[in-house]
Each structure stands twice: as C-alpha cells, then as structure tokens.
Structure 1
Amino acid sequence: MSRWWDRYGFRTIIIIVALIIALWIKQTQAAFLSEAYYFVVKPFQSQTQFTVEDRLTNARILELEQSVAELEQQNRQLKQSLDYAETQPVQTIAAPVIARSRDRWWDRVTLGKGSEDGVKPSDIVTGIGGLVGRVTHVTPHTSKVLLISDSTSRVGAILSRNRQFGYIRGKSSSTVVMQFFHQVAGIKPGDEIATSSLSKLYPPGLAIGKVKSVNKNQGAIVEVELSAPIDVLEWVVIQPFESQLGKE
C-alpha cells in the first residue's frame, strides 16, 4: 500500500483536486449563465408580455370609443327627429327604423312603433327633408311602411312654382319620376315638388323633392330627387292621417 501511495498518491491528490475545481467551476458557470439568462432574456419576455397586454388594452379602448361615437350619432339622429317632430302642426310619433330588406331597400321599412303607440294603417311617415311613405300594416309594437321610392308607389303631386298637377311614381332609387297630366313648359331643375290636394293617400303640402332633370322630348315627364334621405333612414316621424281612398 505504501509503495502504491508513494508511486500514485500525489497524482491521485492532484486529480481529486482538479475534479473538485472542475465541479466548482461548472456549478459557478451554471449559476452565472442562469443569472445572465435572467438579466438578458427576461426583459424581452416582460416586454413581449407588456406589448401583448398593451395591444389588447388599446383594442378595448378603441372598441369603447367606437361604441361611444355610435351612441352619440344615434342620439343626434334622435334629437334631430324629435326637433323635427315638434315643428309639425299635428301630434306626431317619432319611430326608429328597425328592419329593412337588402333586396327591397327602396321599397319598405319596419318601424319600432305600433298600435299600442297609437300608429294606424294609412298614417303618413315623414323624415327630415320631406315625405317618406305611409303605414300599410301594424302590429302592437311595429309597423310596416311603403316608401314613396317603391316602384308600385303613386303619389299625387304638384309643381309648387306654377301649380301644375301630376303624380310621382317610384323607381327603387333616390329619384322618382313625375308625370304631369298635360304638357308643361318652363320646368327648371331645382323646382320644388310637393304633395297635392288631389292626393287621397297623403295630405297636401308635404315636400317630396326637387326637379333633377327634364326630358325635353317628353315635356310632361321630369326626374325628381327626393328630399328625404330614404336610403339612410334611422328615425322617422309618423303623422296621423285617414286615407280618402274609396271615399267621395
């Protein structure tokens, strides 16, 4: 044993010490690398997490801002309709447009007021600008309106400037056609068209629109731009009216 120790003892001690030092260095390096990872990588992880949370927060804020803007716009529309209703000479009912068919956009709308609110068939519907249509069907809480832009709609009308009578017919757009009862001269773009006393479905004097163009080859026919924004209706005003159709 002593001979082995004399021969290999010192070398063994050196190897053991080297192994201890190597183990210590390895552990120290591991701790160092761990700390280095924490200080170098962790900020980026935090930044990434912050960026995601920040984006979600900003998206939520944008959503709320858009909701507030939409509510403000709806309130403005309602206020304008109520202000308009107050200018009418008869008792009126402000009603929201709650349904509309994409395929029949210019033909009919459904309103969020019905018989329990005092709405009746044959009541007329107006909006800011002028005539919109008339009520055709009523339920306790809704009503359906035939728009004057509907291709089947006919409204007795008059050219306000020279008191020439005729009627308008819809064509499923923001313009309608006015057919005079006889040849009329001197019609100009911008001339105002209103409902006439000959109409049995509407009271006289309601604004319909203005002459947009005149067919020179057919002097009794003109194109009229509707004054009510029928394509973007959100609120309307319902006025009581008893149809004279079938009455003499």
Structure 2
Amino acid sequence: MQTLRRRGLKLMRKAALLVLAVSAAFWVRQTQASLFFEIYNWLSLPFQPSPVQQEVLVNARIKELEIKLQELEQQNKSLTQLLNYTKTNNLKGVVAPVIGRSADYWWKKITLGRGSKDGIQEGFIVMGTGGLVGRITSVTPNTSQVLLVSDPTSKVGVGIIRSRQMGFMKGRGDDTAVMEFFDDVPDIKVGDVVSTSAYSQLFPAGWPVGTVEEINLANTPAPEAIVKLSAPLNILEWVNVYPNKQNKAEN
C-alpha cells in the first residue's frame, strides 16, 4: 500500500508540474514575455547610457557620417577634375589612386593602387591635375611606385615655352624645383610657363611642369630659376599613368 501511495504522489507531482509549465507557457505567450523584458531592463539599467550620454552618442554618429560624406564628395571632386583634365587634353591612360605615402618621403615618392595587371610598366609617366607628377620606378601586380619630380634626385629636361630656352630641372623636396639653363644669358622672366623638352629622354616633350617664380642669372656655374610646380603634389589622391616610348632611355 505504501508503495502504491508513493507512486501516486509522484504522479500527482509530475501532473502538477506539467500543469504549471503549460500554464506558464500560455501566460508568457499571452503577455508576450513582457515580465521577462521588464526584469531584463531592470537588471541592465545600470549599464545603459543616460539620456545625455545617448544624445552624445547619436551626435557623434551623425558627425561621423557627415565626415564620411564630405570625404566621398572630395574624392569625387578630385577624380572628376582629373578626368576632365585628361579629356580636355585628349589623353588616354590608367587612372590610379594614391594608396601609400610616407611622411619621411612625402615629396619623394608615392604608391599607386594599380600595377602590372593594369598594364603599367616601369618608366611610365604619371600626371595629375595641373601637370607632371613623376614616373614609375617599380611595379608589382597590383601596385606601382612613383618617383616624384619634387624629389631632389629627379632630373627632368625642361624648357621655357615662350622663348624656347632649354635646361634641366631638379626637385627641391617641396612644391618647387630648380631649373638650370644651358645658355649663359637666357631669355626668361617671372611667370614664364615651363614644360618638358626634347632634351629629356625620360619624358616626352610638351608636358606641363610649372611656372617661373624666381630668377637668378648671376648663379654659377649656370643661371637658374625657381619653378613652381603646377601639379599639387602634396595633396594627390588620383593620378593618370601613361605609356612612355622613351622609358628605356637614360637622361
């Protein structure tokens, strides 16, 4: 008899627990677990930001999106200017983004996000909005390195468009370069436009370089001029790369 009673009590307990579980499940469904959400909110309240903190976070997010939008607009503007410049001058090349630049070599070299897979080779010419940027010195399948005309080791044969005075130009590590003339008394004046000349075997003639900013005819061993480079080398984001038939020659 005791054994039967124990079994009966166990069955009754299980039945009661089953009824409670079903009732609880029905109640949760009917109330959409609002009590659990209330308990969760109450427990997590100390970890939630205050209204002031929430406003700061929202404002920070808005500011972040505004900055990203401005950045995209500026990149679009730079690319549009470059494409318009290329179209105006009937040039066809590979448009490449500037993806690498060291603060220690800011005026010496840049890395482009295009390489041999895009048809770029060593010696190709690099142009930016406004004028000559430099030339390709090394290439990987996906990147290229550019020696800027502002690098002191870079030498370019150039000439004065107005008077056809010839010379060569060396970078100064900034947005200017030094042009040394072949003639002892060159016909030159401030504001004269400078372009690549037939003297340069690394660049074809007629590519825009800059304008004369200062003149020193008394310099020895040759008269010289300071040329303001026309391409904004310090803020380059996009460039155009062109084949160069003279890329195997030496200056």
TM over 0.5: yes
Look up the match of 1:113: 114
Correspondent of 1:237 among 220, 240, 244: 240
- CA shift at 1:108, angstroms? 0.6
Look up the match of 1:78: 79
Alpha-carbon distance between aligned partners in 2 of 1:246 and 1:191, rounded to the nearest angstrom: 28
**Partner amino acid, structure 1, of 2:154:** S
**Partner amino acid, structure 1, of 2:88:** T
Aligned-residue CA RMSD in angstroms?
1.7
**Partner amino acid, structure 2, of 1:241:** N
Look up the match of 1:141: 142
| Corresponding residue SS for 2:195 | strand
Q: Report the TM-score when normalising by structure 1.
A: 0.77
Instruction: Map residues 1-248 of structure 1 onto 2, 5 A cutoff.
Output: 49-218=50-219, 220-243=223-246, 245-246=248-249
- CA shift at 1:244, angstroms? 5.5
Alpha-carbon distance between aligned partners in 1 of 2:159 and 2:225, rounded to the nearest angstrom: 12
Overall identity of the aligned pairs, in %? 47
Alpha-carbon distance between aligned partners in 1 of 2:120 and 2:248, rounded to the nearest angstrom: 19
> Any idea what the Cα deviations from partners look like across 1:106-126, whole Å, max 9, x if unmatched?
111100001111111111001
**Partner amino acid, structure 2, of 1:237:** N
| Corresponding residue SS for 1:54 | helix
| Corresponding residue SS for 1:103 | helix
Look up the match of 2:14: none
When Rg is computed on C-alpha atoms for both structures, the one with the higher figure is 1
Q: Report the TM-score when normalising by structure 2.
A: 0.76
**Partner amino acid, structure 2, of 1:111:** L
- CA shift at 1:69, angstroms? 0.8
> CA separation of 1:141/1:245 partners in 2, compared to 1, >3 Å: closer, same or farther?
closer
Alpha-carbon distance between aligned partners in 2 of 1:185 and 1:148, rounded to the nearest angstrom: 23
Q: Give the gaps of 5 or more residues in structure 1.
A: 1-47
- CA shift at 1:245, angstroms? 4.9
Aligned residues: 200
Contact 1:132/1:230 (CA < 8 Å) preserved in 2? yes
Alpha-carbon distance between aligned partners in 2 of 1:236 and 1:223, rounded to the nearest angstrom: 24
Alpha-carbon distance between aligned partners in 1 of 2:207 and 2:62, rounded to the nearest angstrom: 45
Q: Give the gaps of 5 or more residues in structure 2.
A: 1-48
Alpha-carbon distance between aligned partners in 1 of 2:217 and 2:157, rounded to the nearest angstrom: 22
**Partner amino acid, structure 2, of 1:50:** P
